[in-house]
Amino acid sequence: MPKWSDITIEMLQEIAAFKTENPIERTAHDISVITKTPLSEVETWTLDKLNSVDVKFLNELPNTRLKFKFKHKGKRFKLIKNAKQMKAHHFIELQEVVKGDIVENLPTIIALLSNRVNWRGKPIEDDYDWKVENFKDLPCPQFYSYAVFFSLLYPKLLNATLSYLKEKGQEIKQELSDGLASSTDSQGEDGKNGTAS
């Protein structure tokens, strides 16, 4: 019997993208994706054979323990738990990506929120495009759970980042203001010295 652990991100995307009101057509499509059987073949099955493949698990969210380290195609990765670990351009791109469909954008979200690491867990040279392309093969439950976790955490990350940026902006304004004031004071002194001689 198929189960969530058999489903990759790409399979979930195919299942989610298929739109129909017909429950038999939906079941046939889902079975075709999950079993990797051509849809034209599944459509020739009897209703008994179709109903013998249980795909009801798709109606429930995957329930899996969240792990932040994983291996994929011989490479090690670590999921980001803290916005401070992100590169600025990835954070900016993530703001755009999360506005769209999470399932459709799941490989991109995971690529943005992960770093390639060595066997000690230290970040090493990363290839973002490779991740986006190859993360479609990742098992769905772990990473769908992470996306749900992240979507709950994201507003907090965004607020924390905005607070941090406002704080830094105030510091910069203060430094500029102090620098301008000391610059004006020294110009005033230079002016006095210039008129006295």
Side-chain half-sphere of 167: how many Cα atoms within 13 Å? 6
Structure tokens at 104: 């459709």
Q: What angle do CA 92, 118, 149 make, to 5 degrees?
A: 45
pLDDT band at residue 197 under the 50/70/90 scheme = very low
> Is the pLDDT confidence value at 173 over 90?
no
Residue ranges of the domains in the chain? 4-59, 64-197
Amino acid residing at 96: E
Q: Which residue has the higher pLDDT, 42 or 157?
A: 42
Q: Are strands 69-72 and 114-117 parallel, antiparallel or unpaired?
A: unpaired
Enclosing H/E stretch for 85: none
Query: If you average pLDDT over residues 96-116, what whole number do you get?
Result: 84
pLDDT for position 181? 64
Does 196 score more than 50 pLDDT? no
What is the spatial distance between Cα 134 and Cα 132, in angstroms, rounded to a whole number? 6
Torsion of CA 44, 49, 52, 54, to 10 degrees: 0
86 — pLDDT class (breaks 50, 70, 90): confident
Helix, strand or coil for residue 134? helix
Residue 140 has pLDDT above 60, yes or no: yes
Q: Which residue has the higher pLDDT, 127 or 100?
A: 127
In this prediction, what percent of the chain has a pLDDT beyond 90? 26
Using pLDDT thresholds of 50, 70 and 90, give the confidence band for residue 34: very high
Can you list the alpha helix ranges (DSSP code H) found in 47-139? 47-52, 88-97, 102-112, 128-134
Query: Distance between CA 151 and CA 102 in Å, rounded?
Result: 9
Question: Which residue type sits at 29?
Answer: H
Average pLDDT, the chain: 79
The mean-pLDDT minimum among 43-57, 64-78, 125-139, 168-182 falls in 168-182
